[in-house]
Amino acid sequence: MLLDILSWILLCLGGGFVLVGGIGALRMPNFYTRMHAASLTDSTGSILIVVGVMCQAGLSLATIKLLTILIFLLLTGPTATYALANAALLSGMKPQADTDEGRSSS
């Protein structure tokens, strides 16, 4: 019962973050900033939803598989984002932002 409530809270929060990520991807002005909104869906959305489903599965092999799926998602997601961002950068798309080298740390 308590686990059900927790699972529902997590699933609804996850769905909410996915929705906000989608809204963000539409509202942001350019490519790089849209990517930030998409990473909201990517990391937070997937974590919350998979953990919510894990609460439903209980202590079984399914939970371990879900955990593995989550780990694979979280390992491959940023790699894909990096490939996309780096391809955009290499093909000459300038991030419309103030690059301030003076503030960079060492």
Partner 1 sequence: MNDQVNKGVENFLMLLALLILAWLLWSGIYKLLLLGLGAFSCLLCFYIAYRIGFFKRASGLRLIPSLPKYWFALLIDIIKSSIDVAKIVLNPKLPISPVVVEIDAMSKGSIGHAILGNAITLSPGTVTLDVHNGRLRVHCLTRKSADELLAGEINRRTSLLTHD
Residues 33-72 that bind partner 1 (CB under 8 A): 33, 35-37, 39-40, 42-44, 47, 61, 64-65, 68
Q: In terms of CB distance, is 4 or 96 closer to partner 1?
A: 96
Q: What are phi and psi of 99, to 5 degrees?
A: -85, 110
Which of 6, 15, 32, 56 is the binder for partner 1 (CB under 8 A)? 32
Should residue 101 be labelled a site residue for partner 1 when binding is judged by CB under 8 A?
A: yes
How distant, in Å, are the alpha carbons of 54, 59, 77, 83, 94 from that of 64? 9, 8, 20, 29, 42
Written as one letter, the residue type at 26 is L
Q: In terms of CB distance, is 1 or 98 closer to partner 1?
A: 98
Q: How far apart are CA 74 and CA 43, in angstroms?
A: 7
Task: Kindly tell me the sign of the dihedral angle through the C-alpha atoms of 14, 19, 84, 99.
Answer: negative
Should residue 28 be labelled a site residue for partner 1 when binding is judged by CB under 8 A?
A: yes
How many CA atoms lie less than 13 Å away from 77 in the CB half-sphere? 18
Q: Which residues here bind partner 1, judged by CB under 8 A?
A: 17, 20-21, 23-24, 27-29, 32-33, 35-37, 39-40, 42-44, 47, 61, 64-65, 68, 74-75, 77-79, 81-82, 85-86, 89, 95-101, 103-106
